[in-house]
Amino acid sequence: MICDGSACTGCGACYNICPQQCISMIRDNEGFIYPIIDEDRCINCMSCIKNCPCNCGSATDNTSIEKKHLSVYAGKSRDAALRKKSSSGAVFSLLSKIVIDSGGCVCGAVFDEEFNVHHTVAYDIESFKGMRGSKYVQSEIYDILPVIEKELQTGKPVLFSGTPCQIAGLGSFLGKEYDNLISVEVVCHGAPSPKVWGDYVKSKKSAGVISYINFRDKKDSWKSYSISFNYKCGKIDSKFFLNDAYMKGFISDLYLRKSCYNCMFKENNSFADIELGDCWGIENICKELDDDIGTSVIVIKSNKGKRFFDKICDSIDYTALKYSDVVKYNPSIAASSDRIKLRESFFEKYSTDNFECLVWELTEGTN
């Protein structure tokens, strides 16, 4: 076993580091991908174990994992139209444009034609557009790690965006710091099951051919956003997020990856240069930055991150905040999800019970 199964994040560092290529990434019955070793081909070199970021101490042998929150800001793009296309304050879009305009590339999560989520690389703004907006399902990244390494070795700037564990996996795979890599992690509530998401999408296809899914539709409000399924026939199925079964189950921690209930990469245990998320509570912290279109929390975690952030300061309205204030309203910055017993109940019944009825049953009385 490479690491404890409840700690494995599916980052793919082991898969890519194996000199014998004897590790496969296999999906389990909950829909999550785990590494499986072909024992007949394994030469016991221990490379997979030594380079697994989830094994205590192994990641720090390769690259610095101890990073602090050097500074914290609330910020939003001055382009309101751009913010309406983004989950919060469009800071990710502005950072990505800097990289692409300088001849670099951006790696982030996109939907495929079946609305599965995976990481890809964009070299121009048009290709980048699919990376905007939240995707509340675990993205597959293991095949993209060697691509990122190859781009970094050319010397071009590369921005990699992902969850804290995905950035840890990339750092562990690379094995060294790259001055031309900017790592941007999203504030992560947890990684939901791709199987649960896929089944939910299939249920929505009964109404027609889906053209677009927006997890964070701000048509009414940023704070009270909707999840919207847009169909080619012109129909739109849109619900306030707490009235949608999938979103309610996600927020209530029913079907997250096991490692999400004890995340190893919160706060200071981070490979990232910058952390981005929603600046919930901005109306209480700094009313001047609240117009209900979207405001980002920006946590600077390295000197490189600060230098990079400085490049977009002329394009945003922002103010410095206390770390404790932003964590108060967005606890996922610092804390793991905690409803592990609900998760066990969910997967015990998932294959036999109606999904929506099961979600409402298990989440009754939860926030």
Statement to judge: residues 230 and 271 lie in one domain: no
Question: For the range 225-234, what are the long-range contacts, defined as Cβ-Cβ under 8 Å and sequence gap of 24 or more?
Answer: 229/204, 231/207, 232/208, 233/208, 233/209
- H or E stretch at 93: helix 91-101
**Same domain (yes/no): 300, 346:** no
Residue 84 and residue 169 in one domain: yes
Question: How high is the pLDDT of residue 1?
Answer: 73
Residue 365's pLDDT is what?
A: 63
Q: Please tell me whether residues 224 and 345 are part of one structural domain.
A: yes
- Indicate the pTM of the whole model: 0.93
Rounded to whole angstroms, what are the CA distances from 355 to 255, 274, 302, 344, 363?
Answer: 12, 37, 43, 15, 12
Let me know: does 62 contact 69? Beta carbons within 8 Å.
no
112-151 pLDDT, tens digit per residue, is 999 999 999 999 999 999 999 999 999 999 999 999 999 9
Judge whether 61 lies within some domain.
no
Q: Which amino acid is at 85?
A: K
Evaluate whether residue 5 is within a structural domain: no
- Could you tell me if residue 63 is inside a domain? no
Indicate whether 223 belongs to any domain. yes
- Do 183 and 218 fall into the same domain? no
Q: Output the domain CATH number for residue 26.
A: 3.30.70.20
Q: What is the pLDDT along the chain (367 residues), one digit of tens a residue?
A: 788 888 999 999 999 999 999 999 999 999 999 999 999 999 999 999 999 998 854 343 434 444 567 899 999 999 999 999 999 999 999 999 999 999 999 999 999 999 999 999 999 999 999 999 999 999 999 999 999 999 999 999 999 999 999 999 999 999 999 999 999 999 999 999 999 999 999 999 999 999 999 999 999 999 999 999 999 999 999 999 999 999 999 999 999 999 999 999 988 788 899 999 999 999 999 999 999 999 999 999 999 999 999 999 999 999 999 999 999 999 999 999 887 889 999 999 999 999 999 999 999 866 6
Please check whether residues 23 and 154 belong to one and the same domain.
no
Are 236 and 150 in the same domain? no
Count of Cβ atoms closer than 10 Å to residue 361 Cβ: 13
pLDDT of residue 59: 40
The answer to whether 319 and 289 are in contact (CB under 8 A) is: yes
Residue span of the structural domain in which 20 resides: 13-56
Q: Are residues 150 and 295 in the same domain?
A: yes
pLDDT, tens digit, 9 for 90 and up, residues 291-321: 999 999 999 999 999 999 999 999 999 999 9
Measured in degrees and rounded to the nearest 5, phi and psi for residue 142 equal -60, -30
Q: How far apart are CA 111 and CA 73, in angstroms?
A: 29
How far is CA 312 from each of CA 33, 69, 177, 247, 287, rounded to the nearest angstrom? 36, 19, 23, 32, 22
Same domain, 20 and 160: no
Three state DSSP letters for 133-148:
CCCCCCCECCCCHHHH
Residues 76 and 144 in one domain: yes
pLDDT of residue 64: 43
Alpha carbons 131 and 319: distance in angstroms, whole number = 26
In a domain, 64, yes or no: no
- Would 151 be classed as within a structural domain? yes
Tokens linked to 65: 């994992």
Beta bridge partners of 297: 74, 277
225/324 same-domain check:
no
Is there a domain that residue 66 lies in? no
Same domain, 156 and 224: no
Q: Give me the pLDDT at residue 68, please.
A: 64
Domain count within the chain: 3
Cα separation, 287 vs 87, whole angstroms = 19
Is residue 281 in a domain?
yes
- Measured distance CA(24)–CA(48) in Å, rounded: 12
Q: What is the pLDDT of residue 3?
A: 87
